[in-house]
Amino acid sequence: MSASTVEQLHTTSTALRDALAQQDWQAIGQLDLQCRDAVSSAMADPQHHPDELRERMQELLALYRDLVGACQAEQQRIADELRQINQSKKSAKVYQMFG
């Protein structure tokens, strides 16, 4: 694995972790694509070191586990919010009918 490939993986995963901490979902989407490109480059690099590649991939796997968990929590939060909005709309309609 060349130094530039290692640096690219590290830089992208660090930026992805920072975006996750800030819940910057737009940046996460863009960084996810960059991360995929970095992984593809690393896998295609003929000079890679298997141990170093394995370590980087394990770090990415842990990061993506955190990312999936955060996405699921955000999805649930939004679903709850939508349910509450729909309930409020229904209540407002009933109020308008009898008010």
Condensed to tens digits (0 to 9), the pLDDT of residues 44-55 reads: 876 767 788 788
Query: What is residue 30's predicted lDDT score, i.e. its pLDDT?
Result: 96
Residue 2 has pLDDT above 70, yes or no: no
Confidence of residue 73 (pLDDT cuts 50, 70, 90): very high
Higher local confidence (pLDDT), 98 or 3: 98
Q: Where are the domains of the chain?
A: 3-98
Q: Which of the 8 DSSP states describes residue 49?
A: -
Query: What is residue 63's predicted lDDT score, i.e. its pLDDT?
Result: 95
Mean pLDDT of 10-27: 93
Asked whether the whole model's pTM tops 0.85, one would answer no
Residue 4 has pLDDT above 90, yes or no: no
Q: Are 60 and 32 in contact (CB under 8 A)?
A: no
Higher local confidence (pLDDT), 66 or 99: 66
- Tokens describing residue 53: 């590649």
User: How many angstroms separate the CA atoms of 64 and 81, rounded?
Assistant: 25
Query: What is residue 1's predicted lDDT score, i.e. its pLDDT?
Result: 47
